[in-house]
Amino acid sequence: MATKSLNFDMFTMPALRTESVSELLKAKEYVQSIFELSLADAPELVDLEAVYQKLLKAIEEPSLFSQFSRREEKLIPWALVQRIGEEPLFEQERAISITFSWFLDSDRFQAVPGLIQVFLSEYPVNSRKFSELKGAISELIIKADTPKLNKLREWAQSVSLFSPNVMQRFTKIAVNESIVDCISTYRLHRGLNFGNFFKVGLQSVLTELGASLSEMSSSRQLFIVDEMINTFIDSEKQFIYPSLRNDFAEGMLLSYQITPPKKRSKEKLKKLFLAHYGDPRISKSGWIGVSEEAVDVMRGWMVENTMNDFFNLLSHVAKTDSTADHHWVYRKRFWNAYLKKGVIQEAWVALGPQAKVQARNFLNHGSAFATLSGGAPNHSSLIMVIGGVLVTEWSHSGKYRVWDRDLSRPKLYKGAYRRSELISNCDYEGAHHSSDSGGWQYKLSTLINDLTGVSVSSREYMNDR
């Protein structure tokens, strides 16, 4: 009665000015969405167990369906679809046909809201009985004929709920509009945003983003990155959908294998992955199950972080250290050219005690680096891999050194190094002579090209642009 009264009072009022009519139309749509298309509330487990046992017997002997009370009848959808015993009842042979035949023969159409609710909650897409269950619910809705269920049927058909293409539609809405619109369109409220339909939908969206995110405009990429982070990370910085952890990483990273994101999107993603997955160069435990291609994208971003940290540190040191200033400006140009070209596969920094103190004062708190002992306290070393060849460079008066053999080279991503580890047993070395005319730069770039095939021109490494 409350619903009828509300509808009458609200929609039989005299004409009002346009703004008020507009507001009333919005209110009407909202009321209809609540009362005419509402689904059922999920029951308590203790109630379900008793109905489950009765339904188990009724499937064996259909005449026992007559023993269900009206209240118990409303719980049959959950007892049928949810896993309460060793397997959901609907997966037993003839369970679907027997139960739905009883629904139809007895005109028990009041089960429809509950069936849709549990269908969206469980969405057992990997079950061998999924198609049969989906078809049975769809048939029951089609044959139901009450005003409320007619509205429910129209909604289910309008959103392609039982169509084989439902996830394609879900994905299209999410990518072209928003995840919020998906939740609204498919009425995934009252806990259904944690249900399996939503999770399967998110998985489909992430698969699409893994292929196409980098092709979107910068503003659209940023919107999607923000929305996906808000969808997957709660206010307490916890991962909401752990089962989609690997899908999330691949969806957010794979499309950037060739075309990188703009700075704001990249920084947001790097921050999230460092917090929830860790630095893949240091520990792979947070990245187990994520494709190597996706991990490589994050690893490449961390190379940029390390190189930029080293550049920033040395630029800071150069302001107060004339020896660093003399050497560093040319080295920064040289290695920045290789960074811009995207050919530095790995990068790690080892800082002397004094350099480490300076780094803590102005580098990002998330910056990772090793400690360096056995040399001058203000010296630092940059360790890189280019085309499989390892190179060490120094902040001050130190030679560059190159290792072409695996056995003798320093190990990457250690927490601490002695200076001797980064200078001993190298295959090639050279002093930084004739920096202003490109002397050492030409020799080293030619050596790298000969060993790896990676070529950077003098025009690139002698200029900051």
What does the DSSP assignment read for 129-162?
THHHHHHHHHHHHHH--SHHHHHHHHHHHHTTTT
Residue 416: the pLDDT is 96
Residue 197 main-chain phi, psi, to 5 deg: -60, -45
Examine the domain organization and report whether 335 and 451 are in the same domain: yes
Which pLDDT score is estimated for 80?
97
Structure tokens at 250: 């691949």
Give the dihedral of Cα atoms 303, 304, 310, 313; nearest 10 deg.
-140
Q: Which residues contact 332 (CB under 8 A, 6 or more apart)?
A: 311, 314, 315
Per the listing, tokens 């200033």 go with 325
The answer to whether 367 touches 359, Cβ cutoff 8 Å, is yes
The per-residue pLDDT for 340 is 92
Please give the distance of CA 106 from its chain centroid, rounded to a whole number.
Answer: 47
One domain, residues 226 and 341: no
Q: Write down the pTM of the prediction.
A: 0.83
User: What DSSP character marks residue 87?
Assistant: S
Residue 74: which residues within 8 A CB-CB, separation 6 or more? 40, 43, 110, 111, 114
In a domain, 207, yes or no: yes
Picking from 260, 276, 292, the residue at the C-terminal end of a domain is: 276
Q: What is the pLDDT of residue 1?
A: 38
- How confident is the model at residue 145, as a pLDDT? 85
184 and 218 belong to one structural domain? yes
In a domain, 298, yes or no: no
State residue 414 phi and psi, 5-degree precision: -75, 160
Instruction: Describe the crossing of helices 147-158 and 130-143 by its angle, rounded to 10 degrees.
Output: 140
Q: Give the pLDDT confidence score for residue 30 in this predicted structure.
A: 42
> Which of 134, 129, 190 has the alpha carbon at shortest distance from 167?
134
Is residue 381, in this structure, part of any structural domain at all?
A: yes
Domain match, 250 and 365 both: no
Same domain, 320 and 456: yes
CA distances from 48 to 42, 115, 197, 223 (A): 10, 14, 21, 42
Are 357 and 455 members of one domain?
A: yes
Domain extent, residue 58, equals 45-162
In a domain, 281, yes or no: no
Provide the domain count of the chain: 4
Residues 308 and 394 placed together within one structural domain of the fold = yes
Tokens 């972080």 label which residue?
Answer: 305
Q: Which of 112, 138, 162 is the last residue of a domain?
A: 162
Q: How many CB atoms lie within 10 A of CB 19?
A: 8
User: For residues 241 and 286, what is the distance between their CA atoms, to the nearest angstrom?
Assistant: 15
The reply to whether 22 falls in a domain is yes
Whether residues 113 and 249 share a domain: the answer is no
Question: Which residues of the chain are modeled with pLDDT < 70?
Answer: 1-46, 318, 321-326, 362-366, 465
Residue at 414 is within a domain: yes
Task: Looking at the structure, tell me whether residues 25 and 58 fall in a common domain.
Answer: no
Query: Is 285 part of a structural domain of the chain?
Result: no
Q: Are residues 50 and 20 in the same domain?
A: no
pLDDT for 180-196, tens place per residue? Answer: 999 999 999 989 999 99
pLDDT at 8: 31
Of 360, 441, 438, nearest to 393 (Cα)?
Answer: 441
pLDDT on residue 363 = 66
Instruction: Say what the pLDDT of residue 314 is.
Output: 78
Q: Is the Cβ–Cβ distance between 430 and 400 less than 8 Å? A: yes
Contact 433, 440 (CB under 8 A): yes
What are the residue ranges of helices labelled H in 42-146? Answer: 45-60, 70-73, 76-81, 95-105, 112-122, 130-143
What's the CA gap between 403 and 362, in Å, rounded?
32
Residues in the chain: 465
Report DSSP state, residue 284: -
- Residue 289 counted as domain residue: no
Q: Give yes or no: residues 245 and 387 share one domain.
A: no
Alpha carbon distance 190, 42 (integer Å): 9
* 221 and 121, same domain (yes or no): no
Between helices 322-340 and 292-318, what is the axis angle to 10°?
Answer: 160
- Residue after which a domain boundary falls, among 141, 162, 183: 162
